């Protein structure tokens, strides 16, 4: 078999290739072209299983290093005699220290195998180039706690770097790994304002390699009954107090709110890192109940759902979480009232008690006269009078009788009042004269003075006597039924 040597133009090579062997393998590759453009690599490798590599790998490496230091001028191998057959030639070749371009046959074979494997590897890389891997990037390095402040688009957002204490933009890629609570991996996306997670960044600190929501360093808790102290930056409940930072986000319905707007009835989702709350999301927000027309209710109390009753006051403003509630109002002068109301988040509901049903009782008047006129708190009334519980002034009027009045407290089902009216005493002026001077006047036996005279007397009948020494007594009965009356005594 004939040997060949070749060398590319203007290039130096330190290897000699045995072309007859390579040509045979190339033909085999062409026969299997229907299977793959590069041929069956396994078939090619099988062709070299019969080759013996007696030289240890270490020696081969030394030979290759020596070959690299040699000059690139090919060394001519002495030709065997013409009668030398192929076996002798091969034997001579195997026993020779140098082959083509100063390399042994074994080294050439090894290089050929490496070349084929390189072709296969290149082909695989080309095919992978058309089908890029979407496998998540392996986690490495230290993750930092981040609070999402703003979403710019689907791939970029603004965060507050808690460790660095600063805001900065970050980007997502198709390979960003997302780990939800419970350690479940999901595709990137779904990030929203108020999210708190650990993020691993690239060496530039701009691209997110991984986002971990499941870290035990991040605590999530749903609570209610917290009061906000904006000066101390705390959220305090009956059992625990939470601290928050000036960079903490307070959100309701994806909108930022003032922490001072929170009420104890709000249901909050707190997200904390290292005992500091960084995100507060309101799950159930509050509205307000504005109480009106409660001033006439005595000893009133208002109860919201199952909470403790509070004293009822005019214009009171009660915070209540959004949704339907039961309001119960009691008072000493009203029937217990229960209403179902709907409170809207951020809204204000007017709760009007002007139509609250008052408790009533009965005032019964027993008088010693008939046909009288009854007035209760200045309004004409009749007995029995059905009235709301409370305080009342009663007045009874009748001609010929003096006015009767009394204050009555109605705090029970009925009150009975006994009215004793006195006759009204009316007066008239009685004028008494005599036809002599110095006459004395007696009325009903009582001395009144010297005539002429005037006397104011109640309506009625009176016995009048006029006396003067030397004259007979003058006697007469007179009725006083008007404003004036006169009597003239004639003395004999």
- Domain co-membership, 160 together with 109: no
Specify whether 408 is located in the same domain as 435.
no
At residue 483, the pLDDT reads 86
Q: Are residues 397 and 373 in contact, defined by beta-carbon separation less than 8 angstroms?
A: yes
Whether 6 is in a domain gets the answer no
CATH number of the domain residue 261 falls in: 2.40.50
Is 208 inside any structural domain?
Answer: yes
Looking at the fold, whether 112 and 33 belong to one and the same domain comes out as: yes
* Same domain (yes/no): 126, 180: no
Whether 230 is in a domain gets the answer yes
- The structure tokens listed for 76 are 């001519």
* Tokens matching residue 418: 């006994």
122: CB partners within 8 A, 6+ apart: none
Buried-state track 168-201, b at ≥16 Cβ within 10 A, e below 16:
eebebeebbbbbeeeeeeeebeebebbbbbbbbb
Residue ending a domain, among 370, 391, 419, is 419
What is the edge-to-edge ordering of all strands in the sheet holding 323-331?
A: 310-311, 301-304, 323-331, 334-343
Which residue ranges of the chain lie beneath pLDDT 50?
A: 1-17, 19, 34-39, 41, 43-45, 47-100, 126-140
Per-residue model confidence (pLDDT) at position 411: 84
Give kind and range of the element (H or E) at residue 126.
helix 105-130
Per DSSP bridges, beta strands 373-376 and 360-367 are: unpaired
* 32 and 123 inside one domain: yes
Domain-ending residue, one of 166, 192, 212 = 212
Residue 5 lies in a domain: no
- Residue count (the chain): 492
Looking at residue 1, what is its pLDDT? 40
Predicted local confidence at residue 39, as pLDDT: 46
Same domain, 23 and 126: yes
Residue 47 lies in a domain: yes
Do 113 and 28 lie in one domain? The reply is yes
User: Last residue of some domain: 352, 381, 405?
Assistant: 352
The answer to whether position 267 is within a domain reads: yes
Is there a contact between 131 and 174 (Cβ–Cβ < 8 Å)? Answer: no
pLDDT digits (tens, 9 = 90+) for 300-346: 999 999 999 999 998 999 999 999 999 999 998 888 999 999 999 99
Please give the pLDDT value at position 162: 95
Q: How many domains does the chain have?
A: 6
pLDDT at 106: 61
CA dihedral 260, 261, 265, 269 (to 10 degrees): -80
What is the domain-level CATH number for residue 475? Answer: 2.60.40.1120
- Position 3 in a domain: no
Please, what sign has the CA dihedral across residues 37, 41, 47, 52? positive
Residue 229: give the domain boundaries: 218-284
- Please tell me whether residues 186 and 227 are part of one structural domain: no
Residue of 266, 235, 264, 263 whose CA lies nearest to 248: 235
Write the CATH number for 184: 2.40.50.320
Q: Is residue 2 part of a domain?
A: no
Cα distances (angstroms) measured from residue 331 to each of 149, 297, 354: 51, 6, 13
pLDDT of residue 102: 54
Q: Are residues 366 and 348 in the same domain?
A: no
Same domain, 123 and 28: yes
Q: What is the pLDDT of residues 16-63, one digit of tens each?
A: 445 455 556 555 555 555 444 444 545 444 544 444 444 444 444 444
């Amino acid at each position: 078999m004939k040997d060949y040597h070749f060398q590319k133009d203007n290039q130096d090579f330190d290897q000699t290739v045995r072309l007859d062997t390579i040509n045979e393998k190339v033909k085999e590759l062409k026969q299997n072209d229907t299977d793959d453009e590069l041929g069956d690599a396994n078939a090619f490798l099988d062709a070299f299983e019969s080759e013996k590599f007696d030289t240890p790998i270490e020696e081969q490496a030394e030979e290759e290093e020596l070959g690299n230091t040699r000059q690139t001028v090919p060394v001519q191998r002495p030709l065997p005699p013409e009668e030398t057959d192929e076996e002798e030639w091969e034997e001579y070749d195997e026993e020779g220290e140098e082959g083509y371009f100063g390399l042994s046959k074994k080294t050439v074979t090894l290089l050929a195998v490496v070349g084929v494997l390189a072709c296969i590897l290149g082909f695989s890389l080309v095919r992978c180039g058309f089908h890029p891997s979407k496998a998540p990037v392996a986690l490495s390095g230290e993750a930092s706690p981040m609070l999402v402040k703003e979403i710019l688009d689907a791939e970029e957002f603004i965060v507050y770097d808690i460790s660095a204490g600063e805001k900065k933009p970050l980007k997502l890629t198709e390979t960003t790994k997302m780990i939800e609570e419970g350690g479940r991996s999901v595709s990137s996306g779904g990030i929203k304002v108020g999210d708190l997670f650990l993020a691993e960044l690239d060496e530039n600190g701009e691209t997110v390699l991984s986002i971990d929501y499941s870290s035990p360093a991040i605590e999530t808790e749903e609570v209610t009954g917290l009061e906000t102290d904006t000066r101390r930056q705390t959220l305090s409940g009956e059992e625990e107090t939470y601290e928050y930072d000036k960079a903490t986000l307070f959100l309701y319905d994806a909108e930022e709110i003032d922490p001072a707007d929170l009420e104890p009835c709000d249901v909050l989702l707190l997200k904390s890192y290292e005992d500091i709350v960084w995100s507060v999301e309101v799950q159930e927000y509050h509205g307000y109940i504005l109480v009106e027309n409660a001033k006439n209710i005595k000893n009133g109390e208002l109860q919201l759902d199952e909470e403790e009753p509070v004293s009822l006051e005019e214009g009171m403003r009660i915070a209540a979480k959004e949704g339907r509630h039961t309001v119960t109002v009691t008072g000493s002068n009203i029937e217990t009232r229960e209403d179902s109301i709907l409170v809207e988040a951020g809204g204000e509901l007017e709760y009007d008690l002007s139509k609250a049903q008052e408790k009533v009782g009965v005032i019964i008047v027993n008088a010693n006269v008939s046909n009288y006129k009854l007035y209760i708190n200045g309004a004409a009334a009749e007995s029995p009078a059905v009235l709301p519980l409370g305080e009342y002034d009663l007045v009874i009027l009748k001609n010929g009788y003096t006015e009767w009045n009394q204050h009555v407290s109605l705090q029970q089902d009925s009150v009975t009042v006994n009215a004793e009216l006195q006759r009204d005493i009316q007066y008239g002026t009685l004028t008494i004269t005599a036809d002599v001077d110095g006459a004395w006047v007696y009325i009903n036996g009582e001395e009144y003075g010297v005539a002429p005279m005037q006397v104011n007397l109640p309506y009625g009948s009176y016995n009048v006597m006029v006396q003067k020494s030397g004259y007979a007594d003058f006697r007469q009965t007179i009725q006083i039924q008007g404003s004036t009356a006169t009597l003239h005594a004639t003395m004999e």
